[in-house]
Amino acid sequence: MSFTPAEPQYLSAKRLYNPRSHSYNDSWHPSFAGTFVSHLSIQPGQHVLDLACGTGLVSFLAANIVGPSGSVVGVDVSEGMLAQAIARKEREKAKFPQLQFHNHDVLDLDSLESLEKESFDFITLASAFVLFPDPKAALKHWLRYLKPGGIIALDVTHPQNLAFGNVIERVANRMRVSIPYYRQWVKSEDSLKEILEGGGLAVQKIIRIDNQAGYGKRLFDVSEADDVFEKNINGEATKDLGASATVKDKAKEIFRDEWSKAAVDGKVGEVDTVFLGIAQKEPDTSAPSVAFTGGCRCGGVRYLSTIPPEETVYCHCSACRKLSGSAFLPWIECQTSSIEFIVRSTLQTLRLSEVADRMFCNVCGTPISMTYKAKPHYTSLTMGSIDDGSVRCIIPPVKLHIFLKEKAPWMVLPDDGASRYDEFSSN
């Protein structure tokens, strides 16, 4: 937008949402909050910052997941909305000791002394990103509170979502009258991807969520412009466009023009769709102390090692063969204390026997690590999960072939000088 809003964003949010606070949960918002959180890989023990949390719909769902070992902080500037969240927390205080709320401007987190930068595994923002006049600046501000490797999730409306709102924003821009939502930058799901990547984030996925509010799709005739205008112009968000008869008449005239421009074959379409973006703050793996980094295919698991691996082992057991879809799995053995999982949102334990615990990504299926019960101070990482070009050390040549009694009969062992064992070797 090319002009300064008439009032600060936090005052607009208060004006819009305080009157709605008592009825906000009697709408499609609780259902959407559930859908929103269902797409996230929040884990027990994690720390979540829920911005523009409103009545706490996402906050309470996240608190249920992180449990007592984690924490959720909800921040909202609307006293009315936050009062609903606080009242529920008070009613269920024994259930949510890990949850706290703050009445504060989300564009001024630096003055909220209880928040520490780079301390949250997840930042969530549901049904609110289009309320900010400068989405890039807002995103940049919030990312300072996200851990390296952490995840931010937020949604924006489809460009045809809420036809009146989309058209009336263009009317307001032409009249140089501000209204408290800013959707014109959203042209498609790629618009959200560009904003996130512009903030230095690695986009994991952009998810299209249809039927957000329950009406699916609607078509309006181009001749309905005046009816649509009169039905909606007296809302709190658009009251400045109806401030006087003169202003309202001019707004209606421009609305007819913009409404007709939005029409295709005489119809203005409305689509009940939003785009949910999930993106990761890139971890800092450039430090000299990092020997190598790695992770899964989808980005839900990321690790680093501060010490070079000590040996390379090829395992021919049937489990490794089937998990890899190959003749064997190559592993590098590292000291367990040297490995740090900087992103573990999709990391899951797989226990196929009493011999070892395996870890894998439960989204893309990448095998990640294995720790033998007999050698707990060492963890083996799959060589295929190491990042290309990240290795600042020498990967040792293969030292052992193990579980050869389960070797695929069609596999011919190379003459590599490595020791060979029918079963597991703890040497």
Asked whether residue 390 is domain-assigned, the answer is yes
Round to whole Å and give the CA distance between 385 and 295.
Answer: 5
Asked whether residue 2 is domain-assigned, the answer is no
Top-confidence range, 101-105, 282-286, 391-395: 101-105
**One domain for residues 161 and 98:** yes
So what's the pLDDT on residue 204? 86
Tell me how many domains the chain contains: 2
- pLDDT tens sequence across 196-220: 999 989 898 999 999 999 889 999 9
Last-in-domain residue among 217, 252, 281: 281
Backbone angles phi, psi at 241, to 5 degrees: -80, -10
Last-in-domain residue among 255, 281, 307: 281
Round to whole Å and give the CA distance between 54 and 250.
Answer: 35
Could you tell me which residues come within 8 angstroms of residue 22 by beta carbon, excluding any fewer than 6 positions away? 80, 84
**Residue 119, domain CATH:** 3.40.50.150
User: Looking at the predicted structure, is the pLDDT value of residue 2 above 50?
Assistant: no
Round to whole Å and give the CA distance between 141 and 49.
Answer: 13
**One domain for residues 273 and 368:** no
Backbone angles phi, psi at 386, to 5 degrees: -70, 135
- pLDDT tens sequence across 116-155: 999 999 999 999 999 999 999 999 999 999 988 889 999 9
Mapping DSSP to helix (H, G, I), strand (E, B) and coil, where does residue 154 land?
A: strand
Percentage of residues in the chain with pLDDT exceeding 90? 80
- pLDDT tens sequence across 306-319: 999 999 999 999 99
Round to whole Å and give the CA distance between 423 and 353.
Answer: 14
**One domain for residues 129 and 259:** yes
- Interstrand relation of 120-125 and 47-51 (parallel, antiparallel or unpaired): parallel
Round to whole Å and give the CA distance between 202 and 198.
Answer: 10
pLDDT, mean over the chain: 93
Asked whether residue 78 is domain-assigned, the answer is yes
Q: Name the region of 33 (left: φ>0; alpha: ψ -120 to 50; beta: rest).
A: alpha
Last-in-domain residue among 281, 316, 345: 281
**One domain for residues 89 and 198:** yes
Asked whether residue 286 is domain-assigned, the answer is no
Residue 234: both structure tokens together: 């007296």
Helix (H) or strand (E) holding 221: strand 217-221
Predicted structure pTM score: 0.76
Q: Residues 35, 360, 364, 280: what is their CA dihedral angle, to the nearest 10 degrees?
A: 60
User: Looking at the predicted structure, is the pLDDT value of residue 426 above 80?
Assistant: no
**One domain for residues 137 and 58:** yes
Helix (H) or strand (E) holding 124: strand 120-125
So what's the pLDDT on residue 427? 54
With 0-12 / 13-18 / 19 or more C-beta atoms within 10 angstroms meaning exposed / middle / buried, residue 167 is buried
User: Looking at the predicted structure, is the pLDDT value of residue 98 above 50?
Assistant: yes
Asked whether residue 425 is domain-assigned, the answer is no
User: Looking at the predicted structure, is the pLDDT value of residue 284 above 80?
Assistant: no
User: Looking at the predicted structure, is the pLDDT value of residue 286 above 80?
Assistant: no
Print the domain residue range for 34: 9-281
Angle between helices 135-143 and 189-198 (to 10 degrees): 50
**One domain for residues 182 and 268:** yes
Asked whether residue 238 is domain-assigned, the answer is yes
**One domain for residues 296 and 266:** no
**One domain for residues 71 and 42:** yes
- Interstrand relation of 120-125 and 267-271 (parallel, antiparallel or unpaired): unpaired
